[in-house]
Structure 1
């Protein structure tokens, strides 16, 4: 495992700008407690297989006293770290724990809700792969009502995209980005052989999403829709930062950022400045 040096790590309470009172702090604490036995029983080779093979993570030493740590790139300059600690009988009833840290120049742009959702997706997928369980919802055809609503309410910011944004948006999302006529295509491999593709038709003002890849069926429709939503949210962050101060942004743009970021910018959280 490689060693990470001189990296600034955040906890979710810092990003939420609420400290340990963050609801996402408690959500992640409970998630870590529920998944700890799974990884305790796997052993390091099993951990390496599930994190590297299925999630595309890398195992490395963060130098924080952990037994092992896995790093997932959520987006470029936005990494999620899963740290495993085994205490045995050292702390009484607490046999060990999973902790979650975040790093990267843009990770604090992302609200705790999105960070916690991504971790929940990743660990849920990992658990199913370890247990050999297939998701029950892959046979569902079409989109959920929630996904239809999300695509409708988040399409407006995409009208601000210009042809010259393709390269910068590609780098921001870690995705393939192309524009042909009025149609934008944004395709991102979220896990190995699991891709989410967003399509935005400028003429029709329509935003859509699709999924592909050999392992997509193993992720399940519900999680794929969440991954598409997280990708939409991050694309809107690019659009908002690029266009803020140049034009009136759709109000939803300001809902895409963490409280830490909006405080830095002097924006009223989740409200247009």
Structure 2
């Protein structure tokens, strides 16, 4: 009788392990790139401070956390208002550019330079009327083509100061730009952590060489702790949790970017990287 031999069994390919290893290698490459770019100019911070224009620095007293104290008398308040008006006028030169634009099929980015007041608790950003005459709305997460991912992302509104009444008074003045983004959506999955947040965050923030303030919406404390090493390489400042901001808090910034730029999955297009901003070129190694 012919013996019936059982055909050999083949173990399924362990694609899960391969993916995890590939992701770890990618994160190491990103950290190496960040270190190489940022630590190549150890003295850039002092040079950048010396090059700051008086109109951008007047009326503010810089503190260790990158914030400025509020004016203590009418004279200081007047100089601060004058400074903000000058910055707003400089920003108004390119009004042909819309506040919000589509940078890819997966992301929208909104940007403004001038007198900007951010209220994290209400997810509202007030702009000087010279910057815009309409209201803009956006969800700062790189998956706008995916309704299930965007369902739990809070919407941010950018609009001009209220007509006929003074804008809300600044409770904190910042001297560096704000970068607003969300870590809601599908974060918690390693692929989405890097594709939707980490890589786009690098693309959007590397130009500032650490001199940028992260304002995070839909925050997950465990997620921040997991990637804190990368976050600290990209920003010199403590993260602002927008959801837990005081209702009366009004943070003033010279520039704001809402949303992250997306190039491709787990990749960066060098030709599309923004140039390093000279006014904020610094990095602590």
Q: TM-score, normalised by structure 1?
A: 0.30
More strand by share: 1
Report which structure shows greater RCO (CA 8 Å, sep ≥6). 2
Structure of larger gyration radius: 2
Q: TM-score, normalised by structure 2?
A: 0.29
More helix by share: 1
